[in-house]
Each structure stands twice: as C-alpha cells, then as structure tokens.
C-alpha cells in the first residue's frame, strides 16, 4: 500500500487485517501527489497494489493519470453503495470528513452564523483564518461550490473571503484552530477530525485549546446546500500484482469493525450506515452534508485553483 495518510492513522488497521487474513501489507507513506508521481514513474514495475489518499481530488487525479483499474469485488462496491464508489469503480471512499465553520464558544450566541455566505459580510472583516489555496481540502471545498453555485457566484464569495482574512493563510488546520483560540481570528474553517484529534491529544495544552472551540454546521435548512463533505479513499493500481488480496483489504476496510476503528481513532465519519462515530464527533452534533457528486469535486479542481488565484487567495 502506498498511503498518503500517516502511518499511525492506518497501520494499526492494516495489522488487524493481517492478523485476520494472514495477508501481509507492506506500507509506504508519503505526500499524496508525490505518491501519484511515483506510481506513474514506476509504471508496470510498481510495487504498489493499493493507493490510499486523503482527498477525492487526488482519487480523481489518479484515475485521470491512468494509474488505477476497476474494482471487481462486490464485497467492496456493493457494501460502499453507489454514492461512495466511482462510477466506473476506479476507486472507493473509505471515510467521510466534514469541513465546517469553527468559532470560540459563546462568540456568536447573540447572532449565530447559519450560512457560509455570511462570512463575506462586512461584519467579518479581519475575522477569518483558513489555509492557503494550495491546500487540496480548500480546493475541493471551492470545487464543490462551483458545482453548486457556478463560477461567478463562487468567485465573488472567494473574493469576499480574501477581503475578510484575519491574516495571510499559513499552516495547517490545527494552526487555524489554535489561532482561533488565541483570538487572532473569530472564525476558522477546518476539518472536524483535526478538532477531534486535538480534544483527545496527550498534550494538555492542545486539549485546552480545542475545548474552547465549537463547530458551526452551516446551510442546514431544508432547501440549503449543507456542509462541505470530502472523503479519504483507495484505488487498486493499474499494474497491481496482488489484485485479489488488494480487494480483500478494501473489503475489510469497509467492514463494521474497521469503520468503527476509523471513527473512534481518526475521528472520521464512516461511509457505512449504522456505525457509531467517536464521542468527540458525536459532541459536535449531527449535520446535513452536501450531495455534490464526488467525481465533480475532483474534476473541478483545476478550475477551483484558477478561481482562487483570481480572487487573490494565496
């Protein structure tokens, strides 16, 4: 397995699979785009059977680069259901992650934030912390908005966001949460699993930072779009030498046992219905997610990046 996820977030699950199946999994970790380039360069000589990445944009990119092949096992494609499987079965989603608004507890009790469009209002000047446009999570969020709103409205929103940045984008999602707690901004946008991980950190200071933050689920009305949802997922490589075992691994990762481990340890949302989330995610409350086709999020990536550049989003 070539994995864009850190070893600590995936190896314990792979070890459980090996104990159950007797199939050894050799894990290679790295940055998602670097792994795609490596598989392409290795061609038919690649040792990779499975590619695991943390964003649908890279899953679509892998397919477009010709690095994947169809998943044939019904234990994978039927279990994951149609929405979570690429239409030609080139990849499958394994977990969901939401990207809501975050605020300091009590900050907006008198005037709650209910919609993403509110953030471009004049009342939020110098208020927003968010990662740079080079971050694929932000690219995917904007890609989804392009699909929902169209180019013109999304560009206007992106320009409004830039005008309201509290600082030039820097750091990762945890850095946005820390800046929010420190009062450098009043609003942050970050993935929920980062906050969940901070709440369960071994470091007391990190836990105290996270305990100051609450999640705002935006656009939750009946006719509203919902919160942006992304996925981590996996594909079988085009030149996989162990396809049967690779499909067994993907099938295992979609079992209730594996999905429960993901949910509790990584603070991500299962793609299989009925699997309980971690106590931390449960404390954030339930939400309605966007229903943009996942492939569209990936296909709009280049357009999203150009749009963010036009908006001045560094």
Annotated binding residues for Fe cation, written as ranges, equal: 193-194
Beta-carbon contacts of residue 22 (< 8 Å; ≥ 6 apart): none
Quote the strand ranges of 86-219, DSSP E: 92-98, 101-104, 128-129, 187-189, 213-216
Q: Which parts of the chain are beta strand (E)? A: 2-3, 28-29, 50-53, 68-69, 92-98, 101-104, 128-129, 187-189, 213-216, 229-237, 269-270
CB 272 within 8 A of CB 133: no
Contact 191, 203 (CB under 8 A): no
What angle, rounded to 10 degrees, do the helices at 56-64 and 32-42 form? 20
In sequence order, what are the beta bridge partners of 236? 50, 69
CA dihedral 25, 234, 6, 200 (to 10 degrees): -110
d(CA 154, CA 303): 11
Q: Which residues are annotated as a binding site?
A: 193-194
DSSP code, position 111: S
């Amino acid at each position: 397995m070539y994995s864009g996820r850190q070893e600590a977030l995936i190896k314990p699950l792979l070890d459980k699979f090996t104990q159950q199946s007797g199939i050894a999994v050799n894990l290679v970790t790295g940055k998602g785009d670097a792994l795609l380039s490596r598989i392409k360069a290795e061609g038919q000589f690649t040792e990779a059977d499975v590619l695991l990445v943390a964003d649908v944009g890279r899953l679509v990119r892998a397919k477009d680069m010709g690095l994947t092949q169809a998943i044939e096992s019904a234990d994978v494609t039927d279990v994951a259901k149609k929405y979570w499987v690429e239409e030609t079965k080139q990849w499958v989603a394994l977990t969901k992650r939401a990207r809501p608004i975050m605020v300091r507890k009590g900050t907006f009790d008198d005037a709650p934030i209910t919609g993403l469009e509110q953030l471009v209002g004049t009342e939020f000047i110098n208020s927003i912390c968010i990662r740079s446009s080079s971050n694929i999570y932000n690219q995917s969020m904007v890609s989804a908005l392009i699909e929902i709103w169209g180019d013109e409205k999304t560009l206007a929103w992106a320009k409004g966001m830039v005008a309201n940045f509290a600082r030039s984008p820097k750091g990762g999602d945890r850095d946005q949460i820390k800046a929010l707690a420190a009062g450098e901004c009043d609003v942050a946008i970050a993935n929920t699993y980062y906050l969940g991980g901070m709440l369960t950190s071994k470091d007391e200071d990190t836990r105290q930072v996270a305990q100051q933050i609450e999640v705002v689920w935006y656009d939750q009305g009946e006719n509203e779009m919902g919160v942006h949802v992304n996925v981590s997922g996996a594909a079988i490589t085009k030149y996989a030498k162990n396809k049967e075992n690779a499909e067994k691994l993907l099938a295992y990762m979609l079992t209730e046992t594996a999905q429960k481990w993901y949910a509790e340890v990584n603070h991500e949302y299962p793609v299989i219905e009925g699997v309980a989330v971690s106590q931390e995610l449960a404390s954030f409350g339930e939400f309605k997610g966007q229903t943009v086709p996942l492939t569209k999020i990936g296909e709009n990536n280049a357009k999203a990046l150009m749009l963010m550049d036009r908006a001045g989003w560094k």
